[in-house]
Amino acid sequence: MAKLGAILTFYILLSCFISMAEKVGTEKDKALQLAPLSKSTNSTGAVVVSVKNVKKKYGKKLVLDDVSFDISAGEIFGLLGSNGAGKSTITKIITGLENQSEGKVVYYSGKPVNLKGKIAIVPQAISAYLNSSVEENMRFFASLTNLTKEMQKKRIEYLLSWLQIDGFRKMPVEYLSGGYQRLLNIALSLISDPEIIFFDEPTVGLDPGMRKMFWKKIIELENLNKTIIITTHYMDEAEHLCSKITLLKNGKVVAYGAPKELILEYGGPSILQVNTKNPVDTVTLELLRKKLGPIPVEYVNKTINISMKNNQLFEQIVGVLDEIAQKKFVISSVDLKRATLEDVFINITGSKMGEA
């Protein structure tokens, strides 16, 4: 028991450690001084945008059907769904670029207010003038705000350095790589120091390193209590970043809540995969199944897959495995395949993202 327990505990601790390391990174980020961007004064957790029973028709086509959700201050909120689900349409309605056919959107800052001036969009397409330099674009966008000249300068310098594009300041935007053009997009959108920031598919087409950097920057903005709304097709991105998501399908909300809770409710079982050095014979497998009772056990390619509906079963499984493994087979490694947001999507919509 002690030996197998130790192996399994090691794997579980390792995965906890990785997620803790990510958290520690986040804590460190918290310490970063992002001035002269201001910390949002909206108290964390308070609703800042409430979408109430919104319907949208284009001609006779109903593209949003009774959509309701709340977005809270200081959270990263995910709008998920396949192509054509209605993500951009609801985003345009929230940001005032489109009108809804029915329902309403209410903005709060303590009480209902007009927050439209405090909202920024970071689009997927580059919003800068391609022939002008990075710095010229920044100056132009800053001149459109009502910041003092001194503050404009400070904010430009700050954003260039925070987003690591100061080395390219004299370069015409057309010569920047796609990733750096997208970083410039963020800089241009943040010049006005918005309270609520929409990121439209922020990491599509980025390499893994750049993707991680975008995530880090988004988390740093969250640490300033900014409210972030991202539309994404990437389930791992939503799971990593978002504290709450709305999943749209054909204009309808089919899931709404915290990723962890949705995974628990709709994600299905986690699978404990026990890889063995030698093949496990059918008699041993039957013994294993008998001892584990209703817990499903499958055996494929020298891997025993045990479905865990909840983590409380873990101790029982370790006990049984340990008892049998000592005598009947040798364990080479153990993996825990957790249910993910991707599983939630498949279980709710009946298809994979992109097929729904």
| Structural tokens at position 349 | 């919509």
Contact mark string toward ligand ATP, 26..65, x via CB under 6 A:
--------------------------------x----x--
54 vs 159, beta carbon nearer Mg ion: 54
CA torsion, points 104, 225, 205, 67, in degrees to nearest 10? Answer: -20
74 vs 86, beta carbon nearer ligand ATP: 86
Residue 112: exposed, middle, or buried by beta-carbon count in 10 A (0-12, 13-18, 19+)?
exposed
Q: Find the binder of ligand ATP among 33, 83, 114, 146 (CB under 6 A).
A: 83
80 vs 219, beta carbon nearer Mg ion: 80
- The residue to which tokens 């093949």 are assigned: 279
Query: Do 186 and 198 form a contact (C-beta atoms < 8 A)?
Result: no
Q: Find the binder of ligand ATP among 74, 81, 202, 259 (CB under 6 A).
A: 81
119 vs 134, beta carbon nearer Mg ion: 119
Query: Do 271 and 337 form a contact (C-beta atoms < 8 A)?
Result: yes
As measured in angstroms, the least distance from the Cβ of 89 to ligand ATP is 3
Does residue 124 bind Mg ion (CB under 5 A)? Answer: no
Q: Find the binder of Mg ion among 88, 305, 307, 340 (CB under 5 A).
A: 88
Does residue 88 bind ligand ATP (CB under 6 A)? Answer: yes
Does residue 123 bind ligand ATP (CB under 6 A)? Answer: no
- Residue 333: other Cβ atoms inside 10 A: 12
Alpha helices in the chain (DSSP H): 2-31, 87-94, 134-143, 149-162, 178-190, 208-222, 235-241, 259-266, 282-292, 313-328, 341-349
Query: Do 173 and 133 form a contact (C-beta atoms < 8 A)?
Result: yes
By rule CB under 6 A, what count of residues binds ligand ATP? 10
Binding interface with Mg ion (CB under 5 A): 87-88
Q: Which residues bind ligand ATP (CB under 6 A)?
A: 58, 63, 81, 83-89
